[in-house]
Amino acid sequence: MFVGHYAAALAAKAIEPRAPLWTLVAGAQLVDIGWAALIMTGVEKVRFDPELPGSTLDLYHMPWTHSLPAAVIWALGALLLARLLLRLPWGAAVAIGAVVFSHWVLDWLVHRPDLLLWPGGEKVGLGFWNYPVPEATLEMGLIALAGGAWTWVRARQGESLWPALAFMAFLLAVQMLGQFTEPAGSVAAFGRTALVLYLVVVAVSALADWRGKKRAAS
Ligand SMILES: [Zn+2]
C-alpha cells in the first residue's frame, strides 16, 4: 500500500479540519518514513524477490516500525508531539494519532504475512498485494472516497476546491509512477528514494491545505 495510506489523512481532514493537512499526510506514512530510514541503516531488512506476484518487496525484518506494538507506540508518540510540540487541539492530535495507527491496519490488508503481532510472535497480513490490479483499484478507490469527503467539506465551508482536486490528481500521478517502476539497485538507494518521495508528498500537501475562499457568487 502506498498512496492508499493517504486516504486516511484525507478522511481525517474531512472530520477534523483543525489538523493541518501536512501533519495528517506525514502521519499516514510516519511508520514508512521510519522504515525507509531504518532500512537505509540496516536496522530493518528488506530484499527484492522478482518471483513474488505483485509487489516484489520481501519485508522479512521490520519489528521497530511494522509490528503491532510498534505501530501503537508510533501513534501515541505522534499524538503527544502534535499536542505538546505543535500545540494542536486535542481533537486534532487524536486524529493524527489515529491516522498514524491506520497505516498498520491498511498494511495488514495488503502485506503478505510480515507484520509482527508481538515481539517474536506471529506475523500477519492478508496478502492483497498478490493481486496487483484489484489492489491498485482499492488504493485509488479509498483516495476517491476520502478525497471526495474532504472536497465536500471544503465546499460546505466555502473554500476553494482546486487545492483538494490538485492534491488528489498528484496522488494519482504518484500511484501511476509507482505502478510502473520496480525497485532497482541497492536497498539503501531504494530507502533513500522512498524517503524523498514521502517528504515531497508532505511538502505538496502543505500547499494543498491552502484555504482560498471561493469568490462569492453574485
Ligand atoms: Zn508500511
- Ligand 1 centre and the CA of 159: distance in Å? 32
**Could you give the CA distance from residue 14 to residue 144 in angstroms, rounded to a whole number?**
13
* Segment 106-141, tens digit of pLDDT: 999 999 999 999 988 999 999 998 998 999 999 999
Here the cell at position 108 is 495488514
- Ligand 1 centre and the CA of 208: distance in Å? 23
Q: How far from 8 is each of 36, 102, 145, CA to CA, in Å? A: 20, 7, 10
How confident is the model at residue 218, as a pLDDT? 40
How confident is the model at residue 213, as a pLDDT? 61
How confident is the model at residue 135, as a pLDDT? 92
**DSSP reduced 3-state for 183:** coil
- Ligand 1 centre and the CA of 36: distance in Å? 9
Amino acid letter, 152:
W
**Could you give the CA distance from residue 17 to residue 154 in angstroms, rounded to a whole number?**
9
How confident is the model at residue 76, as a pLDDT? 98
Q: Any alpha helices (H) in the chain, and if so which ranges?
A: 5-15, 21-28, 30-40, 63-66, 68-84, 90-110, 132-156, 162-180, 187-208
Radius of gyration from C-alpha coordinates of the chain: 17
| Residue 47 φ/ψ, nearest 5 degrees | -135, 160
- Ligand 1 centre and the CA of 156: distance in Å? 33
Here the cell at position 135 is 489492489
- Ligand 1 centre and the CA of 62: distance in Å? 10
How confident is the model at residue 141, as a pLDDT? 95
Helix (H) or strand (E) holding 186: none
**Could you give the CA distance from residue 81 to residue 215 in angstroms, rounded to a whole number?**
36
* Segment 60-78, tens digit of pLDDT: 999 999 999 999 999 999 9
- Ligand 1 centre and the CA of 106: distance in Å? 8
- Ligand 1 centre and the CA of 5: distance in Å? 9
- Ligand 1 centre and the CA of 177: distance in Å? 18
**Which ranges of the chain have pLDDT less than 70?**
182-184, 212-218
How confident is the model at residue 217, as a pLDDT? 45
Task: State in Å, rounded, how far the first CA of the chain is from the last one.
Answer: 44
